[in-house]
């Protein structure tokens, strides 16, 4: 498939925002049960602003692959059957929940405003945050299922697609949270850093697993079934016409085979060992710069990974266009 950069930025930006919000809320839950030191309200308020910035940036990026952006609202109409429609609904809902979470912390509201008294500090923000966390995981599911539900694209049609979208979002979000903590709350740096390592190790296992799975795929369609000829050996010599077409532009990535193979190793290096090395160095030196650099490099690796994810999918129509003039 031909990767659309707008979709690449959409999925990576909102994934990071989701992961960062889950990191903020996880820390608050830990602090309520006194496993971590409590943080001032401004820590969560500013964090919510950063989450919203990523979600809004992703939403803006999504408009660049629409032929008629003014009709974007119609994409929510098929929510009963379309994972894309569900994503379109859940993303703004999550943005609203994050905004409410930040406002509750900023004004230090609690459940007393609705006549409920509890002994838990920040009880209202915990309730709002729980709703936001549920929406964040639901958005991961919707985004991943947009691709995993397409059965004829066998590279995508796997539970690993949803898992990888979720874990990459958690890894990048917690790494951003580690950099944020190094700047605002150094006592939380090792907490976030440890979870970053766990999420990164998990997604390394599942992403390599998906690469191995895709390499061993046996496609259900062949050139014989595509044209209805049972001959054992059929070789396509040309695409059938001299110029390009929508089919050859939109369903081919257009990259030379040697470069395509190299891109896989580029994202594996940028997304895993390099940022982890910088993260460990940053935590040892308590360096905001090193940890922030780790996030930037991992995000670049995530962009390359997402490009590879889209490009690797082999549409069955390519059986007709194996050779491009």
Segments making up each domain of the chain, as ranges: 5-218+237-320
Give dist(CA 23, CA 218) in Å, integer: 39
> Which of these CATH numbers, 3.90.550.10, 1.10.150.170, 1.20.1630.10, 1.10.1740.10, describes 5-218+237-320?
1.20.1630.10
Q: Is the pLDDT of residue 324 over 70?
A: no
Q: What is the pLDDT of residues 189-244, one digit of tens each?
A: 999 999 999 999 999 999 999 999 999 888 777 777 777 888 888 777 666 555 66
Q: What is the share, in percent, of the chain residues with pLDDT greater than 70?
A: 92
Q: Which residue bears the tokens 């740096």?
A: 189
Q: Tell me the pLDDT of the chain averaged across its residues.
A: 89
Q: What is the pLDDT at residue 244?
A: 65
- Confirm whether pTM is higher than 0.85: yes
Q: What is the pLDDT, as a whole number, of residue 225?
A: 77
Q: CB-based contacts of 78: which residues, under 8 Å, 6+ apart?
A: 84, 85
Residue 169 has pLDDT above 90, yes or no: yes
- The confidence score (pLDDT) of residue 18 equals 98
Q: Is the pLDDT of residue 325 over 60?
A: no
pLDDT single digits (tens) 51-106? 999 999 999 998 887 777 777 778 888 889 999 999 999 999 999 999 999 999 99
pLDDT tens digits, residue range 231-290?
A: 888 777 666 555 666 777 777 777 777 788 899 999 999 999 999 999 999 999 999 999
The whole-angstrom separation of Cα 59 and Cα 137 is 17
Nearest of 176, 100, 103 to residue 133 by alpha carbon = 100
Half-sphere exposure of 275 (CA within 13 A, CB side): 32
Tens-digit pLDDT profile for residues 307-320: 999 988 887 777 66
């Amino acid at each position: 498939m031909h990767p659309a950069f707008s979709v690449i930025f959409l999925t990576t930006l909102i994934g990071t925002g989701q992961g960062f919000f889950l990191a903020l809320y996880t820390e608050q839950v830990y602090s309520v049960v006194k496993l971590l030191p409590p943080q001032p309200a401004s820590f969560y308020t500013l964090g919510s602003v950063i989450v919203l910035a990523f979600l809004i940036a992703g939403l803006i990026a999504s408009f660049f692959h629409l032929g008629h952006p003014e009709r974007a609202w119609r994409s929510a109409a098929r929510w009963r059957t379309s994972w894309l429609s569900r994503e379109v609904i859940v993303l703004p809902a999550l943005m609203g929940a994050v905004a409410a979470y930040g406002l509750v912390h900023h004004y230090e509201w609690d459940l007393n405003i609705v006549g409920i008294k509890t002994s838990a500090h920040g009880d209202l923000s915990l309730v709002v945050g729980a709703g936001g966390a549920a929406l964040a995981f639901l958005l991961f599911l919707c985004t991943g299922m947009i691709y995993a539900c397409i059965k004829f694209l066998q590279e995508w049609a796997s539970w690993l697609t949803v898992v990888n979208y979720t874990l990459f979002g958690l890894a990048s979000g917690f790494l951003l949270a580690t950099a944020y903590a190094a700047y605002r709350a150094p006592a939380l740096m090792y907490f976030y850093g440890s979870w970053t390592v766990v999420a990164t190790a998990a997604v390394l296992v599942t992403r390599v697993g998906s690469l191995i799975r895709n390499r061993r795929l046996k496609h259900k369609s062949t050139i014989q079934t595509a044209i209805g000829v049972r001959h054992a050996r059929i070789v396509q010599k040309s695409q059938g016409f001299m110029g390009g077409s929508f089919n050859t532009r939109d369903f081919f990535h257009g990259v030379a085979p040697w470069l395509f193979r190299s891109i896989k190793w580029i994202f594996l290096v940028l997304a895993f060992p390099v940022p982890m090395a910088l993260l460990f160095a940053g935590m040892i030196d308590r360096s905001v710069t090193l940890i922030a650099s780790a996030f930037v490099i991992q995000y670049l690796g995530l962009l390359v990974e997402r490009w590879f994810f889209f490009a690797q999918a082999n549409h069955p129509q390519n059986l007709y266009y194996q050779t491009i003039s």
